[in-house]
Amino acid sequence: MTTDFTKTRAMFDLPPGVIYLDGNSLGPLPRAAALRVAQTVTAEWGQMLIGGWNKAGWMDQPSRVGDRIARLIGAEPGHVVMGDTLSIKVYQALASSLQMNPRRVILSDTGNFPSDLYMAQGLCQTLGDRDLVTVAPEALLEAIDETVAVVLVTEVDYRTGRRHDMAALSARAHDKGALIIWDLAHSAGAFRVDVAKGGADFAVGCSYKYLNSGPGGPAFIYVAPRHAETAPPALSGWLGHEAPFAFDRDYRPGRGIERMRVGTPPVLQLAALEAALDIWDAVDLDDLRARSLDLTDRFIAGVEAACPMLTLVTPRDPQARGSQVSFAHPEGYAIMQALIAAGVVGDFRAPDILRFGFTPLYTTFDEVDAAVAILARIMTTGAWDQPQFKTRAKVT
Ligand SMILES: *Cc1c(COP(=O)(O)O)cnc(C)c1O
């Protein structure tokens, strides 16, 4: 397949005058999602009322949509389900893993996203007999030993864009008798992922970044087929029960991935996601990756040539990075605010990182060149050095 990226760009409703390099944080609005949600609200919720659960297929939506995510992450069909937020799914995968493996340690790295680490800390406090151990990302492989019950690893570092080697870490974990959970928050929709070949026991990720489901869109969870009928769901809500509408007093896990469901699915968000996923039907993931690397290489070369005061913190090696580029500067926050005011939307991550997401579905080479030129102007004129760019907002 040869992907037509002009066509995929036209499927998004992008505001004029904005170069959007933040689709790794919140994907933009697919035109079809706006229509689908409106239709779900008026024709399904409005007209069918509670009948929508059966007539409009709302109850099967979490696994139906999960199957479409499965293609993007290399999962076997029938082993991905949608629901809750990513933080909750991290907790569920961790709690399930700790029930499957009685060892003491949850191992993660210091580059992991704080919410993943916070959820692990909370779970350890609840359980009392488990500990979270974190090591530097480069030391993770070696740190997997016989004390480790489960390795919790986010494939792409949210700050630097550095990418872990899934197959190597999974192989080492299994060699040492540990389970491994892959967080694909910055992978799913950014490049081809292969959780089956990569040896993941569990994988989790969110849908509102590269997959464009909109703010608050649900997360996904994958359980490897070898664990599907034995992994305990840990969060034993009624919709993961074998027969939710039997209203039994005692919990019995549902079949396979269905047991990882917890409560009522977010039907409107899933409608938006279903429409957003239609775009991916016309996308070859190898084309996506090739374009992502072309876009990021061009941005790196342009910024390094024009802005020597910015320090690249993303690996140059294409194999070792995701689809974002980050530069460090002590005044990173103010620089990013000045950029946003000039129509280039990236984001800032404490303490000093300017982060730019490259999303081949809609980012163009002309936009990369224009973003480089605007950044260069802001840096050389010192336009960022003004009080209005230095007040921190709640979301950075
Ligand atoms: C974005 C992100 C999250 C966010 O979790 P939510 O519960 O959806 O807010 C968690 N973990 C990682 C690695 C992320 O990148």
What would the pLDDT profile of 95-149 be if each residue is shown by its tens digit? 999 999 999 999 999 999 999 999 999 999 999 999 999 999 999 999 999 999 9
Q: For residue 315, give Cα distances in angstroms to 5, 23, 231, 324.
A: 26, 20, 36, 10
**Which class for 17: exposed (0-12), middle (13-18), buried (19 or more C-beta within 10 A)?**
exposed
Q: Is 65 in the pocket of ligand 1 (CB under 6 A)?
A: no
The DSSP code sequence of 75-130 is: PPTT-EEE-S-HHHHHHHHHHHHHHH---SEEEEETTS-HHHHHHHHHHHHHHSS-
Identify the pLDDT of residue 18: 97
pLDDT bin (cut points 50, 70, 90) of residue 360 is: very high
Annotated catalytic, 209? Answer: yes
Neighbours of 147 (CB within 10 A): 14
Q: Dump pLDDT digits (tens) for 249-291.
A: 999 999 999 999 999 999 999 999 999 999 999 999 999 999 9
Contacts 24+ apart (CB under 8 A), 43-51: 44/267, 45/267, 45/268
Identify the pLDDT of residue 39: 98
The average pLDDT across 14-30 equals 97
Identify the pLDDT of residue 393: 85
- Picking from 257, 209, 249, the residue whose alpha carbon sits closest to that of residue 229 is 257
Instruction: Let me know how long the chain is.
Output: 396
Annotated catalytic, 390? Answer: no
Residue type at 347?
A: D
Is 269 within 8 Å of 217 (Cβ atoms)? yes
Query: Please, what is the end-to-end C-alpha distance for the chain in angstroms?
Result: 38
List 205's β-bridge partners, or say none.
220
The fraction of the chain above a pLDDT of 70, given in percent, is: 100
Give backbone dihedrals phi and psi of 200, rounded to 5 degrees, phi first: -65, 140
The fraction of the chain above a pLDDT of 90, given in percent, is: 98
Nearest CA to ligand 1 atom 13: 113
Domains of the chain: 5-29+283-389 (3.90.1150.10), 34-280 (3.40.640.10)
**Residue that is written with structure tokens 């409560």 in the block:** 263
Check whether 395 has a pLDDT greater than 90: no
Cα of 339 from ligand 1 centre, angstroms: 25
- Nearest atom (ligand 1) to Cα of 113: 13
- Pairing of the two strands 202-206 and 219-223: antiparallel
Q: Is 158 in the pocket of ligand 1 (CB under 6 A)?
A: yes
The average pLDDT across 320-335 equals 97
Identify the pLDDT of residue 392: 86
Identify the pLDDT of residue 98: 98
Strand, helix or coil for residue 151 = strand
Is 98 within 8 Å of 168 (Cβ atoms)? no
Check whether 228 has a pLDDT greater than 80: yes
Q: Dump pLDDT digits (tens) for 336-349.
A: 999 999 999 999 99
Check whether 323 has a pLDDT greater than 90: yes
Identify the pLDDT of residue 196: 98
Annotated catalytic, 208? Answer: yes
Q: Is 92 in the pocket of ligand 1 (CB under 6 A)?
A: no
Cα of 182 from ligand 1 centre, angstroms: 12
Residues 6+ apart with CB under 8 A from 149: 97, 98, 101, 102, 103, 104, 105, 106, 130, 178, 179
CA distance 11 to 125: 46
Residue type at 161?
A: G
Q: Is 118 in the pocket of ligand 1 (CB under 6 A)?
A: no
Among 82, 84, 87, 181, name the best residue to mutate to test ligand 1's pocket (greatest count of ligand atoms within 8 A of Cβ): 87
Identify the pLDDT of residue 5: 98
CA-based radius of gyration for the chain: 21
Cα of 87 from ligand 1 centre, angstroms: 6
Question: Crossing angle, helix 267-278 and helix 31-39, to 10 degrees?
Answer: 140
The average pLDDT across 361-383 equals 98
Check whether 1 has a pLDDT greater than 80: no
Give per-residue burial for 72-85: e unless 16+ CB within 10 Å, then b: bbbbeebbbbbbbb
pLDDT bin (cut points 50, 70, 90) of residue 186 is: very high
Identify the pLDDT of residue 311: 98
Nearest CA to ligand 1 atom 6: 86
pTM above 0.95, yes or no: yes
| Per-residue tokens: 153 | 């690893």
- Nearest atom (ligand 1) to Cα of 88: 7
Instruction: Give me the helices (H) in the chain, please.
Output: 5-10, 31-39, 47-48, 52-55, 61-73, 86-100, 114-127, 140-143, 166-175, 267-278, 285-306, 332-341, 365-381
The average pLDDT across 157-182 equals 98
- Of the listed 5, 12, 20, 113, which one is catalytic? 113
Average pLDDT along the chain = 97
pLDDT bin (cut points 50, 70, 90) of residue 13 is: very high
The average pLDDT across 236-245 equals 98
DSSP letter at 344 equals: E
Annotated catalytic, 113? Answer: yes
Check whether 240 has a pLDDT greater than 80: yes
Is 297 within 8 Å of 317 (Cβ atoms)? no
- Of the listed 183, 201, 347, 352, which one is catalytic? 183
Identify the pLDDT of residue 68: 98
Among 82, 115, 324, name the best residue to mutate to test ligand 1's pocket (greatest count of ligand atoms within 8 A of Cβ): 115
Identify the pLDDT of residue 394: 86
